Structure 1
Amino acid sequence: MTPPERRPVASLWIGDRLQYLNQICLVSHVQQGHPTTLYCTHEVSNVPEGVTVRPASEIMEIPLDIVEETSASFLSNVFRYKMIQKTDAIWIDCDAFCHRPFPDEGDHIYAGHGFRGALNCGVVKIPQKGELMDRLLDYYDNLPDYPAWWNKNQRKKMDRLHKKEPDLPHPVKIYKAERTSFGPQAFTYFTQQTGDYDRAMAPEVLYPVPFQLNDIFYDPHGRVEGWFTDKTLSVHLYTNGTKPWWRKNPPLENSYAWRMCRQVGIDPAQALE
């Protein structure tokens, strides 16, 4: 039975090959009925069937020299809001597994994350127009000397970095001083400034398992679903925090990652790091 077509979702991939965790996450959205687009900077050899591939340049140019000095996910923090502004799709990280379909309506899809009360933007939908979008894009397009929420120690770290490597591009300096200044930190700060922070969903909706416990996805004796509730829509797998062993070897039998591979029909051995 074909699932009903739901709201479009989209993500970005920088590189020429997906890992199996990325494959299962993309397919999970397709299987839940969400038209799924993957914007790519390169020709990707193993995009799963059902995922639409589009050039990332349709949204913005991705300066690969900046990516090389930061990370593949760095510029996705800018890309996601420009993508939402142009297409009105829901942004999904390539390591967000669709547990249940997203609601058919609503412009505020984002949630708290982990143990610290900050918001995350791994799955996010905000209004295409409005103060929150304007502030986020202005921040990225006109980077300040220091992010407004930085404390004295963070600013001193930036100053030391500037003295040591004065020729580094400014965004790279900010990234190296505080990696999440372009992701969750920025999103949390600007939602607080615009009054949208209180619109956030509970962590159980989009990030039911805390980041600090991410190895549970690969534990054959773990009970990942014990963290889920009837409100859980998405399960973030946190590939940036995953130990290299899990990226280079198929998941152990009966682990959550192994079961989800079987559920969506992906052979992990064909897409290892």
Structure 2
Amino acid sequence: MTPEYQIGALWMGGNLSFLEQLCLISFRDAGHHVKLYTYEEVGNIPDGIEIADANTIQPTESILRHAKTGSPAPQADKFRYQMLATEDRIIWADTDAYCVKPFETPNGHFYGWESKTHINNGVVGLPQDSDTLRELIDFTHVEYPIPDWFPEEEKAQLRAAHEAGEPVHVSEFSWGLWGPQALTHFLHKTGEVKYALPVHALYPFSFKERRLMLRRGIDLDQYIKPDTYSVHFYGRRMRKRIVEKEGGAPKRYSLIGKLLHQHGVNPEDAPIPYTPPPSADAPVKEYAPLVPSDRYGRGLLNLTDIADKYALDQGNTKHRFTELYHLLFLPYRNRAIQFAALGVSEAAAGEELPAIRMWLEYFTKAQISGIDVADHSGFTDDRFQFSQVDLDDRSAVAEMAAAQPAPDIVLDDATHASHHQQIAFVEMFARLKPGGMYLIEDLRWQPSNLERDDWPKTADLFQGYLERGAFAHPDPDMAEALNALRADISGCFLHQAHYQKKNRDQVLVVHKR
């Protein structure tokens, strides 16, 4: 028996691909008369599909598109409601809706829940005397709306924008304003929501589950029930997935692959049009690399410039740590902070300390605390104090930390031995001021004469913390001490050498709450 209702659809996207062909053919093969509305000539339309002029429903000189995505969804939303009001005994179906069995309704209402909270309009039938249909047509005639269902605060903002002569256009709203949002609201308002079909009737696969339709071996009985009428393919995302991950066509024994075979649709005859994103490896004009002097004197005084002046390996000459440090430290530069430098120099005792000179010059008002295993007490400056400590002795480190003014920033550039880094962190992070930063540099190199095999690398220790939310350490006392600090850690990250993901972790930054 021929189904009583014809199917109406709209296409505004160039030629049809095999995915749209499959959906239109599925309705045709189920016995429905299918009417495809278009505003221009469209290729690849299957046999047996009536081609209709969309201007007879809704004349338009330009297509209304969603500002963020470029999708013509707002135009299609408005069109479907006008079509339902104009055509007799017709049900709208998106061109990514596959017909499982003929659509039947005793009263003209045909729509379904997509989730517990909203009804989708991908398939929608409403009788011409429906109060919901009247509300939808009235609502979609206003291109600068103030939706009734928005919170009062948002409605007040929209009214203020109207009064200021800068109303918000429908294309600027969140996705689905004229679609699922409006349909769900007005169905509730009119009470016609009582006719809505259950989720599995029209949307058996959720948006998050859409990729299952491209996999083999899925138990379809979990999704498609005896009273399932349609399957929604989520066309824009599905087309992109098929091209980028499936080689342009679904696997033969996936759900969509089986349906293509069942209806005799060959993907090669109507491939999905696709414009790949610009390649990061695309040919570009060759430019000579900049040398440090090309940047000197530009903008604000830069920490890297100072590091280069003192020939420090933290600058451009080797590690480039100062690029990150300048980004993090600039707000502190002219503030009276406490800066603790663990490891002040590789110079012999009594010699000049260029790294400390760099920090004194960069932090114009800071008090600098220098801490090292070697004696550098001969270096003097009104804003510098020095402490010598044995980093192997945790109690000595704790005593030193307690004697220091509470720091705003701690930078560990000391021995680079993992156990020294971790002992210092446990004792000094606790002393750090709220909102302070703790940094450890040179994570990828540890001196063989100092490194202990029974302690983890500091980079591995913190990667584990980021993955598990807890520190794992073979020393029970250290494990206890590290995990006791977790509640005070606002966040942390590890930066790779020379800022390239392929390289090993090189700098740790931990922010205190």
Smaller-chain TM-score bracket: 0.7 to 0.9
CA distance in 1, matches of 2:232, 2:36: 17
Q: For residues 189-208 of structure 1, what are the structure 2 equivalents within 5 Å? A: 189-208=185-204
- TM-score (structure 2 length as normaliser): 0.48
Contact 1:62 1:75 in 2 (8 A): no
Q: For residues 255-266 of structure 1, what are the structure 2 equivalents within 5 Å? A: 255-266=254-265
Describe the shift of the 1:156–1:174 C-alpha distance in structure 2 as closer, same or farther (beyond 3 A): farther
Displacement of 1:144 after TM fit?
5.4
Alignment size in residue pairs: 264
CA distance in 2, matches of 1:253, 1:71: 30
Contact 1:158 1:177 in 2 (8 A): no
Q: For residues 13-162 of structure 1, what are the structure 2 equivalents within 5 Å? A: 13-67=11-65, 69=67, 70-88=70-88, 89-103=90-104, 105-114=106-115, 116-143=116-143, 145-151=145-151
SS at match of 1:228: coil
Displacement of 1:179 after TM fit?
1.3
Contact 2:66 2:171 in 1 (8 A): no
Instruction: Name 1:181's counterpart in structure 2.
Output: 177
Displacement of 1:253 after TM fit?
1.9
Contact 2:66 2:175 in 1 (8 A): no
Q: Which has the higher contact order (CA 8 A, sep 6+)?
A: 1
CA distance in 1, matches of 2:17, 2:161: 33
CA distance in 1, matches of 2:227, 2:93: 18
Contact 1:29 1:97 in 2 (8 A): yes
Instruction: Name 2:400's counterpart in structure 1.
Output: none
Describe the shift of the 1:102–1:153 C-alpha distance in structure 2 as closer, same or farther (beyond 3 A): same
Q: What letter corresponds to residue 202 of structure 1 in structure 2?
A: P
Give CA-to-partner distance per residue, 1:221-259, whole Å, 9 cap, x none.
333443011111111111133262314611112011111
CA distance in 2, matches of 1:141, 1:206: 28
Contact 1:99 1:234 in 2 (8 A): yes
Displacement of 1:210 after TM fit?
1.4
Give CA-to-partner distance per residue, 1:157-188, whole Å, 9 cap, x none.
969999xxx5xx85xx3333311111000000
CA distance in 2, matches of 1:242, 1:221: 19
Contact 1:216 1:224 in 2 (8 A): no
CA distance in 2, matches of 1:174, 1:210: 26
SS at match of 2:73: coil
* 241-250 or 117-126: bigger deviation: 241-250
SS at match of 1:242: helix
* 138-147 or 84-93: bigger deviation: 138-147
Describe the shift of the 1:68–1:186 C-alpha distance in structure 2 as closer, same or farther (beyond 3 A): closer
Displacement of 1:67 after TM fit?
3.0
CA distance in 2, matches of 1:157, 1:241: 33
CA distance in 2, matches of 1:260, 1:33: 17
SS at match of 2:55: helix
Unaligned regions of 5+ residues in structure 2, if any? 274-513
Contact 2:20 2:96 in 1 (8 A): yes
Contact 1:98 1:235 in 2 (8 A): yes
Displacement of 1:151 after TM fit?
2.7
CA distance in 1, matches of 2:66, 2:134: 28
CA distance in 1, matches of 2:243, 2:20: 11
- Higher helix proportion (structure 1 or 2): 1
Give CA-to-partner distance per residue, 1:36-57, whole Å, 9 cap, x none.
0000011011001111101110
CA distance in 2, matches of 1:153, 1:19: 44
Q: Percent identity, please.
A: 27
* 209-218 or 70-79: bigger deviation: 70-79
- TM-score (structure 1 length as normaliser): 0.87
Instruction: Name 1:246's counterpart in structure 2.
Output: 242
Instruction: Name 1:268's counterpart in structure 2.
Output: 267
Q: What letter corresponds to residue 214 of structure 1 in structure 2?
A: R
Q: What letter corresponds to residue 82 of structure 1 in structure 2?
A: Q
Describe the shift of the 1:72–1:225 C-alpha distance in structure 2 as closer, same or farther (beyond 3 A): farther
Contact 2:66 2:172 in 1 (8 A): no
1:228 aligns with 2:227: no
SS at match of 1:54: strand
Describe the shift of the 1:264–1:78 C-alpha distance in structure 2 as closer, same or farther (beyond 3 A): same
The structure having more radius of gyration, on CA atoms, is 2
Unaligned regions of 5+ residues in structure 1, if any? none
CA distance in 2, matches of 1:68, 1:140: 14
CA distance in 2, matches of 1:221, 1:154: 46
Displacement of 1:219 after TM fit?
1.0
Contact 2:144 2:170 in 1 (8 A): no
CA distance in 2, matches of 1:125, 1:65: 23
SS at match of 1:67: coil
Q: What letter corresponds to residue 180 of structure 1 in structure 2?
A: G
Displacement of 1:15 after TM fit?
2.7
RMSD of aligned residue pairs (Cα, Å)? 2.6
